[in-house]
Structure 1
């Protein structure tokens, strides 16, 4: 492919994207990942690069081997891989351009829309996981850094403009955060004891990663793919097993209420861990850090307001 034109696409958060046109008139979507802020793929740039490669190969296998057309997988580079390094910090991935109506993070899906998404997840969860599928852990990556930060709230944080405000905000929510960590550990012990089988999960099948075309949904952003309980995906649709009966009919498996609540809580704790790592480290004021600060405050407020009830629903 010979590049004819590229225009920056200010979408998403964390990665950087471009609309690309080649000389033959083909359209593509290019993503550049900042490996130093890709903790869900691995801690540190080298580990994150390996995790990103495994994730992209998994997406490609699901599409090419298993015929899952809803998987928006990367195209192969000249060396046959899916990820090309730009330098030690950044990596490039190229995707086919998908036409349709994109969803938005926080968007509420209708019952019919949730049904279509449940159909896709049931199909995904029923596939044999590719050998490259990354493993996941119940404990969110970086949570140990949160505990360490909670033990060092009396000093001054000086990594950048949001460092000291982050310390003050964390101190304000320290009691709630410690309680949520304890609650998470208790639920994780119950879930581990269930012995439920793991499946290949997308990780973030929320509306912001959906594109609705003429022939149905396409699911993008597969860098979070991993082996986990199916509730990792299902928790983003509902915390009430009764609302997931369509999934039960398709798979024969009834989602577990404790696992649903666990993964909802895990999502918030993972966000806190990423924000704490970011704001305690060297950073500047930018559009990304401004967005991260808003996310940090909203997540801590959510942890304070939500009960993460395991009885089948979450009260806010």
Structure 2
């Protein structure tokens, strides 16, 4: 019998991951089923840094179990880049990997499956307004909520601005991971691997590149040499400012709302508040989005 060892990484509370020998087992209600189709397609097309799901006995890429999707992928025995950082050469390799993903042709079946925006973004405005009402009109139930309310009220104007992302100019749409920060990158001696494709979308490149342009703290490049190394691998690109603002704003609102919600409900309430304060801080993504 293969032993299951639970893996405690990631902020997605709807997902559970275990290691089972040479395989990673994931049980999730998050994201969309397009994730399995996209990773299978990329891996079959020769993109080495994307682990593909194994097929079930029935030939499917996942199975439905108790209202969630169960999938199996090869276990990548590597370090999380969020823990170790990337060397200059690895930043260049990561740029090459993301460019390779963005350059893949999109077959009609994937174009029909992939959403144009992370579905979670649709509920963020309503959640933000609910949080605003609670944190500005109701007394806090404990010290953590009191500190959260103080943080929220201090940055209320900034948070309100995130509800108005503007209209991006149209642009070519490519396969985007939509969450390619270093927490989703595994490093082995010979390869970088981009994992956790639950939020994959069909969108302009700015959806992914925003993570490389500041505001992500240690989950993105923190110095200009690191950014230069990434774009050495990615190649020359002209970024559209309206699209960059749009996707930065959507991501910043998601981070603000979800980390504030987790500060209220747990787990890890104090850590969640600290992350929220970073998002809203002078070097955080919220300021980058509206600045």
State the 1:12 CA deviation: 1.1
**Residue aligning to 2:206:** 231
**Residue aligning to 2:182:** 207
**In the alignment, is the contact (CA less than 8 A) between 2:260 and 2:272 conserved in 1?**
no
**Residue aligning to 2:9:** 12
Measured against aligned partners, the alpha-carbon deviations of 1:164-213 in whole angstroms (never above 9, x if no partner) come to 55653442133454322344355x32xx3422222211122222222223
**Residue aligning to 2:115:** 134
Measured against aligned partners, the alpha-carbon deviations of 1:234-292 in whole angstroms (never above 9, x if no partner) come to 22223399945864885553234565465445434212322444566xx6x6xxx02x5
- Structure 2 residue corresponding to 1:195, chosen from 164, 170, 178: 170
**2:72 equivalent to 1:75:** no
- Structure 1 residue corresponding to 2:25, chosen from 22, 30, 40: 30
SS in 1 for 2:198: helix
Q: Are residues 56 and 214 of structure 1, via their aligned partners in 2, closer, same or farther at CA, if it must alter by over 3 Å?
A: same
**Residue aligning to 2:130:** 148
Q: Are residues 137 and 222 of structure 1, via their aligned partners in 2, closer, same or farther at CA, if it must alter by over 3 Å?
A: closer
**Residue aligning to 1:63:** 43
Once residues 245 and 257 of structure 1 are traced to their aligned partners in structure 2, the CA distance between those partners, rounded to angstroms, is 22
Using CA pairs below 8 Å that are at least 6 residues apart, which structure has the higher relative contact order?
2
Segments of structure 1 that go 5 or more residues without pairing to the other structure are 22-26, 42-50, 158-162
Q: Are residues 5 and 128 of structure 1, via their aligned partners in 2, closer, same or farther at CA, if it must alter by over 3 Å?
A: same
Q: Are residues 114 and 104 of structure 1, via their aligned partners in 2, closer, same or farther at CA, if it must alter by over 3 Å?
A: closer
Once residues 156 and 295 of structure 1 are traced to their aligned partners in structure 2, the CA distance between those partners, rounded to angstroms, is 20
Measured against aligned partners, the alpha-carbon deviations of 1:71-120 in whole angstroms (never above 9, x if no partner) come to 112111123322222212x3321111223x32243654333222111111
**Residue aligning to 1:46:** none
Aligned length: 271
Pairwise CA RMSD: 3.4
Once residues 7 and 139 of structure 1 are traced to their aligned partners in structure 2, the CA distance between those partners, rounded to angstroms, is 30
Q: Are residues 133 and 235 of structure 1, via their aligned partners in 2, closer, same or farther at CA, if it must alter by over 3 Å?
A: same
**In the alignment, is the contact (CA less than 8 A) between 1:55 and 1:134 conserved in 2?**
no
**In the alignment, is the contact (CA less than 8 A) between 2:54 and 2:73 conserved in 1?**
yes
Segments of structure 2 that go 5 or more residues without pairing to the other structure are 215-222
Once residues 208 and 228 of structure 2 are traced to their aligned partners in structure 1, the CA distance between those partners, rounded to angstroms, is 12
Alignment TM-score, normalising by the size of structure 2: 0.77
Q: Are residues 230 and 241 of structure 1, via their aligned partners in 2, closer, same or farther at CA, if it must alter by over 3 Å?
A: farther
**Residue aligning to 2:218:** none
Once residues 79 and 213 of structure 1 are traced to their aligned partners in structure 2, the CA distance between those partners, rounded to angstroms, is 32
